[in-house]
């Protein structure tokens, strides 16, 4: 089986986490022309070189998202980004606007058609195959529809510009949109923040009441979060997804942290391997589900793949992750000879037995057990705000690396 696991990278930490966790490829956005321009801290054009070098050195492909609505005044920035994409060998551009598609075609840059294009049928696949070798299908299709599209592509031998059979990509994990993805104007209407310029304020995630404007009567709704779908999680049906003939499995979440990317990528990597080796068991699925539930999630369902007519809605405004990370401090020094890292506590306290979560540009995400509290080289019971702690750590740390304490969500 030759399926590609594609992970989100909203930061260098998340990118490294994806690399460490066994992703085959990552996708990222730069500047403001991507669907996470509001929420993810943001790479800039100058970061493209480092992203490309680091991914390729690790044997991963990297794709850049350029999938917002494009205005006339965006064209020069677009050209600047594409020039850097070409120069640094980014493997493909993920696009939906024809200005991007046209420019990439002219410049000989490989294209993926974004889910923003809502490709939902074979005719559309055939159309976009003139420009792109990979097409991300709309997230609202059923597995039957996906399988039918995949088998027809092979039967009709629909090839992309490279001459290879067109690849189909689907989302396997992460947040879902209450609308057909990319066709929502709620955020734009309420706060002038266009989801299609990456500025979605996610009003759908709030509770609402339905009011009859004539009588003023409020409609009672069992679950107030009537517009907030639970998150997609396909681990229990991953074998069926692979059987449908898709070639790329995409994890949503460029606004999520390195710990999220690491956990989700690891679980799906293990699941793909288990399926390949014929040991995809309910016990393993239960274990992956448990691990996936430790990081950000709004509760899981399997999306529209099984043909549900209506979505499953959340019951809370935010995450129901079973673990929480509490910020504790940042990196200060590294002693390479003895492989010891020094961090300063900026918030709260740490004690023996705490599980520490570290995120950093160079190493992604690491979890360690804090089994010996060393403050300024001396053993203590607790490390408090202002204390500098040291512990063995295999990777070089820097001042931008962050230290968190990991707690069960109920204790936080």
Partner 1 sequence: MPKIIQYRDKCIGCGICFELQPELWRMSRKDGKAVLLKAAAKKLTHVLQVTAQQYEEARAVSEACPVRVIKLG
Q: Could you say which of 8, 198, 329, 331 contacts partner 1 (CB under 8 A)?
A: 198
Query: Cβ closer to partner 1: 37 or 142?
Result: 37
Residue 80 CB coordination number (10 Å) = 13
Query: Cβ closer to partner 1: 20 or 116?
Result: 116
Closest CA to 201 of 187, 190, 189: 187
Integer Cα distance of 354 and 26 in angstroms: 31
Binding positions for partner 1, 136-195, rule CB under 8 A: 191-194
What is the phi/psi pair of residue 131, to 5°? Answer: -115, -30
Least distance in angstroms from the C-beta of 260 to partner 1? 23
Is 282 one of the binding residues for partner 1 (CB under 8 A)? no
Integer Cα distance of 105 and 119 in angstroms: 19
Least distance in angstroms from the C-beta of 71 to partner 1? 6
Is 33 one of the binding residues for partner 1 (CB under 8 A)? yes
What distance lies between CA 283 and its chain's CA centroid? 26
Q: Could you say which of 54, 197, 250, 402 contacts partner 1 (CB under 8 A)?
A: 197
Least distance in angstroms from the C-beta of 72 to partner 1? 8
Residue with tokens 């490390």, as numbered in its chain: 383
Q: Could you say which of 7, 14, 21, 38 contacts partner 1 (CB under 8 A)?
A: 38
What is the phi/psi pair of residue 343, to 5°? Answer: -125, 150
Query: Cβ closer to partner 1: 18 or 35?
Result: 35
By CB under 8 A, the count of residues binding partner 1 is: 21
Query: Cβ closer to partner 1: 192 or 215?
Result: 192
Query: Cβ closer to partner 1: 71 or 144?
Result: 71
Integer Cα distance of 94 and 128 in angstroms: 12
Query: Cβ closer to partner 1: 71 or 98?
Result: 71
> Taking a C-beta distance cutoff of 8 angstroms, is the pair 5, 269 a contact?
yes
Least distance in angstroms from the C-beta of 98 to partner 1? 17
Binding positions for partner 1, 13-32, rule CB under 8 A: 31-32
Integer Cα distance of 402 and 11 in angstroms: 13
Q: Could you say which of 37, 105, 121, 124 contacts partner 1 (CB under 8 A)?
A: 37
Integer Cα distance of 127 and 411 in angstroms: 53
Q: Could you say which of 74, 91, 140, 302 contacts partner 1 (CB under 8 A)?
A: 74
Q: Could you say which of 201, 204, 373, 406 contacts partner 1 (CB under 8 A)?
A: 201
Is 73 one of the binding residues for partner 1 (CB under 8 A)? yes
Q: Could you say which of 76, 215, 277, 410 contacts partner 1 (CB under 8 A)?
A: 76
Query: Cβ closer to partner 1: 76 or 213?
Result: 76
Cite the DSSP H helix spans in 219-373: 238-243, 258-276, 282-292
Q: Could you say which of 77, 274, 340, 362 contacts partner 1 (CB under 8 A)?
A: 77
Written as one string, the DSSP assignment of 137-171 is BPTT--HHHHHHHHHHHHHTT-B-TTSSBPEEEEE
Query: Strand 167-174 and strand 231-233: pairing?
Result: antiparallel
Integer Cα distance of 20 and 136 in angstroms: 25
186: CB partners within 8 A, 6+ apart: 178, 179, 195, 203, 204, 227
Is 293 one of the binding residues for partner 1 (CB under 8 A)? no
Cite the DSSP H helix spans in 197-281: 238-243, 258-276
Burial class (CB in 10 A: 0-12, 13-18, 19+), 357: buried
Closest CA to 92 of 112, 116, 106: 112
Least distance in angstroms from the C-beta of 211 to partner 1? 25
Query: Cβ closer to partner 1: 192 or 277?
Result: 192
Of 72-80, 143-151, 252-260, 380-388, the window that binds partner 1 (rule: CB under 8 A) is 72-80
Is 199 one of the binding residues for partner 1 (CB under 8 A)? yes
Query: Cβ closer to partner 1: 192 or 410?
Result: 192
Least distance in angstroms from the C-beta of 196 to partner 1? 10
Which residues form the interface with partner 1 (CB under 8 A)? 31-33, 37-38, 71, 73-78, 80, 191-194, 197-199, 201
């Amino acid at each position: 089986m030759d399926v590609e696991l594609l992970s989100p990278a909203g930061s260098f930490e998340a990118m490294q986490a994806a690399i460490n966790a066994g992703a085959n490829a990552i996708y990222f956005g730069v500047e403001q022309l991507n669907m996470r321009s509001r929420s993810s801290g943001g790479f800039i054009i100058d970061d493209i070189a480092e992203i490309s070098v680091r991914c390729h050195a690790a044997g991963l492909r990297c794709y850049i998202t350029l999938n917002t609505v494009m205005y006339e005044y965006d064209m020069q920035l677009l050209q600047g980004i594409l020039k850097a994409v070409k120069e640094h060998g980014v493997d493909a551009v993920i696009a939906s606007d024809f200005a991007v598609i046209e420019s990439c075609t002219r410049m000989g840059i490989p294209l993926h058609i974004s889910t923003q294009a809502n490709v939902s049928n074979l005719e559309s696949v055939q159309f976009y195959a003139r420009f792109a070798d990979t097409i991300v299908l709309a997230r609202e299709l059923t597995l039957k529809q996906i399988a039918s599209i995949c088998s027809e592509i092979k039967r009709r031998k629909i090839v992309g510009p490279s001459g290879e059979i067109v690849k189909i990509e689907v989302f396997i994990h992460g947040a879902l949109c209450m609308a057909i993805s990319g066709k929502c104007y709620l955020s734009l209407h309420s706060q002038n923040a266009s989801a299609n310029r990456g500025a979605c304020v996610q009003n759908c995630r709030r509770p609402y009441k339905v009011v009859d404007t004539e009588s003023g009567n409020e409609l009672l709704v069992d679950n107030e979060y009537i517009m907030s779908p639970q998150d997609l999680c396909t681990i229990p049906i991953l074998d069926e997804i692979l059987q449908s003939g898709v070639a790329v499995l995409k994890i949503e979440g460029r606004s999520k942290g390195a710990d999220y990317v690491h956990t989700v990528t690891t679980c799906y990597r293990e699941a793909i391997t288990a399926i390949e080796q014929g040991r995809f068991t309910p016990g393993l699925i239960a274990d992956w589900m448990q691990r996936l539930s430790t990081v950000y999630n709004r509760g899981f369902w399997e999306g529209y793949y099984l043909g549900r007519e209506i979505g499953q809605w959340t019951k809370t405004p935010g995450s129901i992750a079973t673990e929480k990370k509490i910020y504790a401090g940042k990196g200060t020094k590294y002693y390479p000879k003895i492989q010891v890292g020094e961090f300063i506590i900026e918030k709260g306290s740490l004690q023996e037995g705490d599980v520490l979560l570290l995120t950093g540009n160079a190493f992604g995400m690491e979890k360690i057990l804090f089994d010996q509290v060393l403050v300024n080289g001396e053993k203590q019971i607790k490390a408090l705000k202002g204390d500098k702690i040291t512990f063995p750590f295999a990777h070089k740390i820097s001042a931008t690396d962050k230290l968190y304490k990991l707690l069960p969500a109920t204790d936080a």
